[in-house]
Amino acid sequence: MRPRTELTERQKRKRRKAIFRQSLLALAALLLVAGAILLISALIRGAKKPSPPKTDDPPPASDPAQPTPSGEEPPAGQSAALGPASDAEPLMEIGEAIQSECAILIDADANVALAVKNADQTIYPASMTKVMTVLTAAEAIPDLNATFTMTGAIIDPLYRQGATITGLRAGESVTALDLLYGAALRSAADAAEGLAALCDGDTPAFLLRMNSRARELGLSDTTHFSNPSGVFAEDHVTTARDEAAIMRAAMENETCARVLSTVKYVTAPTPSEPEGLTFYNKYLDWFAEKQPERNTVTACKSGYVWQAKNCIVTYAVGESGRHYICVTAGAPTAAAMMKDQRLILSTYGG
């Protein structure tokens, strides 16, 4: 009888193993089915992504492929950009879809915000500051062929700080237009300081002009400039919404629009550079190869200090002919910054 009992125990063990294997197979099948259902749901949601809110404002009468410059200066105390963009209805919340900490996309023609993420949070603008510097200087300098002689007092402190500079040497002269391109394309701090000196004699006086112009543009009380280049300072701050308003005003200025839309610029020869200094907007060139869907980025200004991380403001023209401004700030890497820009413009612009 013993052998018979042993055989029964073996059969029980085999049966338990068979049941365990069948259970594992059934669980694996359930997981595969659940994964397939989730994938199909995601594809359906992706196919139904929201389109940007429509506005009743007609497209501008000018060539939609170009910025719309304003030939007239606004009256004193009045803003060319009519203040920061108000929120559209319904306003799209970008949320965790992007890695940048703050972002905004506005319809520049209607001055309406289409999509936001922490758009009114305080940020350090880094070299996006130079959009305001270029705008302020372009409005103030009557002759862009006026010359400025670079000084060691400007170059030396910036060199010690590790700031980007043009390559000009003390005693070399360039035009105001060269300085505008140096600030916008090269993102050179000495070009920004040179513009300040050319406009108002010194940086403090120019900063009074910059901050006064910010108030005229209707920017929030958050925005304050403590230098013209964007080097880090605790009180040198703005918001994504205000930065979009600054870019909108700049693109309404013919000189600024031309400067910010240029990929490469070469100055007149200098003693140290007989073929001239070359300034290059690498991110605008990058967009030429990798444009967002249904949009063409025609102007941009980037910035980086470690306190601000990676930030950029872009100006784009959609297939519809409408113009868009996108600001992203606080991206962990330059690659993430550019990916966020393409995603926002592709999703909500066009």
Directed axis angle between helix 189-200 and helix 203-216, to 10°? 90
Residues 5-47 pLDDT 10s: 455 666 666 666 767 677 667 766 666 766 666 655 555 444 4
Instruction: Look up residue 328 and give its DSSP letter.
Output: E
Residues 156-201 pLDDT 10s: 999 999 999 999 999 999 999 999 999 999 999 999 999 999 999 9
Closest C-alpha among 250, 240, 222, 219 to residue 133: 250
The CA radius of gyration of the chain, in Å to the nearest whole number, is 28
Residues 328-342 pLDDT 10s: 999 999 999 999 999
Give me the pLDDT at residue 131, please: 98
Give me the pLDDT at residue 94, please: 86
* The length of the chain, given as a count of residues: 350
Residue spans of the domains in the chain: they are 86-348
User: Strand runs (DSSP E) across the chain, as ranges?
Assistant: 86-93, 102-107, 112-117, 147-149, 173-175, 264-266, 278-280, 295-305, 309-318, 323-331
Give the dihedral sign, CA 81/177/281/201: negative
User: Quick one: the chain helix, strand, coil %, rounded to 5?
Assistant: 45, 20, 35
Spatial contact of 190 and 166, defined as CB atoms under 8 Å apart: yes
pTM of full prediction above 0.85: no
Give me the pLDDT at residue 37, please: 62
Give the angle 285-291-296 at the CA atoms, nearest 5°.
90
Residue 212's φ and ψ, nearest 5 degrees, are -65, -40
Give me the pLDDT at residue 36, please: 64
Spatial contact of 104 and 52, defined as CB atoms under 8 Å apart: no
3-state secondary structure of 14: helix
Residues 276-326 pLDDT 10s: 999 999 999 999 989 999 999 999 999 999 999 999 999 999 999 999 999
Distance CA 292, CA 341 (A): 8
Secondary-structure class of domain 86-348 per CATH: alpha beta
Per-residue pLDDT band for 152 (boundaries 50, 70, 90) equals very high
Closest C-alpha among 199, 246, 202 to residue 224: 246
Closest C-alpha among 2, 62, 1 to residue 257: 62
Distance CA 213, CA 136 (A): 7
Give me the pLDDT at residue 339, please: 96
Query: Residue 54: pLDDT above 50?
Result: no
Give me the pLDDT at residue 24, please: 67
Query: Residue 125: pLDDT above 90?
Result: yes
